[in-house]
Structure formats: C-alpha cells, structure tokens
Amino acid sequence: MTLQKILVYLGATTPSDPSYTNAVQELGERLARSGKTLVFGGSKEGTMTTLADAVLHNGGKAIGVFTKALPMDFLYPGLTKTIMTEDLVERKTEMFRQADAIIAMPGSFGTWDELFDALERVKVDKMHDRPVKPVAMLNLNGYYDGVASLLARSIQEGYTTKRFANLLYSASSVDDLFAWLASNDKNA
C-alpha cells in the first residue's frame, strides 16, 4: 500500500509546552516536503492551524474534513480540498476513509476518541483479513505513556489479544514517525 494521504489527529487548542507545537510544525513541513497529503479535521484552531499552515506554506496539499456540527468560522480557509459532513461520527468515518496511514499527535478528548476509533476500525479490518492502515501516536515527552500502559495491561488481562498488540506504533519523535511511515510504505 502506498502511503500518500496521512491522517493526523490533533488538538484545536495550543498547548502550554512549545515542544508540542514545534513537533506539529515539523510534521507539517516534512509532510509537504515528502509529497504526502495531509488529511485532518479542517479547523483553523490551535495546533490544527499550525499543521495546516506548515503543510500549505511549504507547497503541500491539505484535505480538511469538517462538520456542520461546528461553527463555520472554525473552518480553515484555503485548503486544497474541504469535505463537509453532517456530524462528528460521519467526520471520523470520512477522515478514516480518506487516509492511507494515521498519526495521533498529543491532544485531548477528540484526539483520543479518534485514535481509539481508528484502532477499532483497523482491528476489524485485520479480523477480516482486509488491508490494515498503519496507526501511530507521537509519544513526545512521554505524553502517551499512559496509553501504552493501558494497552499492555489490556493484553495482560486478556482484553486485547496478542494478535492486535502491534496495531499501534509509539513514536518518540517526528523522525521516528517518518521512519515508521517509510517502513510501512510498500513503494518506499
């Protein structure tokens, strides 16, 4: 599978630690330089703006999947393509459909919801022997250590079988994310 369209889940707020915003900026610049297309929630708020700006200002393409459930003044202007959905559930489905690979940056409730939703969709695809989209989280500053611990505990307690233990990759840096993308790209 060629990994051309990269779905990034991230926050519509700006975190207090600038290292997170810097990582988002770096990810956007590298997506653009590598010719990848960004797929994201389409908002002009918080780190979503940072990411879209970095992609578009470096000659990249950005697809925003936005929902009518949010105020239209939150929509990022000037995207390569905007896809409108009726609600947040449809938005998640469309973002997943558009993606070849998925990255969760540090974020909050929406980011976590989208990450776990994607993992369940990938798990179902693997159960039915369909192609599986690679999923990673950027564990910058140990942000997702709790998720890694939760997954390990779930395996230990038998809630998650070892067959699905490797569906989520934990990257420590943007460099690590790009190495992971390259290792999953069959045409790299």
- What CATH number is associated with residue 94? 3.40.50.450
Please provide the average confidence, as pLDDT, over all residues in the chain.
Answer: 95
**Measured at the alpha carbon of residue 84, what is the angle toward residues 185 and 75, in degrees to the nearest 5?**
90
- Over residues 61-72, mean pLDDT: 96
Element containing residue 83 per DSSP (H, E): strand 81-85
Count other C-beta atoms under 10 Å from residue 45's C-beta: 16
**pLDDT of the residue at 162:** 87
Residue 25 belongs to a domain: yes
Residue 188 belongs to a domain: no
Residues 6+ apart with CB under 8 A from 73: none
pTM of the entire predicted model: 0.96
Residue 74 belongs to a domain: yes
Residue 13 belongs to a domain: yes
C-beta of residue 27 within 8 angstroms of C-beta of residue 103? yes
Residue 187's pLDDT band, with cuts at 50, 70 and 90, is low
Q: For residues 172 and 130, what is the distance between their CA atoms, to the nearest angstrom?
A: 28
**pLDDT of the residue at 2:** 87
Residue 106 belongs to a domain: yes
Q: For residues 130 and 1, what is the distance between their CA atoms, to the nearest angstrom?
A: 12
Q: For residues 93 and 98, what is the distance between their CA atoms, to the nearest angstrom?
A: 9
| CA-to-CA separations, 69 to 13, 49, 85, in angstroms, rounded | 18, 19, 8
Render pLDDT for 134-182 as a digit per residue (tens, 0 to 9). 999 999 999 999 999 999 999 999 999 988 989 999 999 999 999 999 9
Residue 132 belongs to a domain: yes
Residue 155 belongs to a domain: yes
Q: What is the DSSP letter of 10?
A: -
Number of domain units in the chain = 1
Q: What is the DSSP letter of 43?
A: B
- Is the pLDDT at 27 greater than 80? The verdict is yes
- Give the structural domain span for 103: 5-183
Residue 91 belongs to a domain: yes
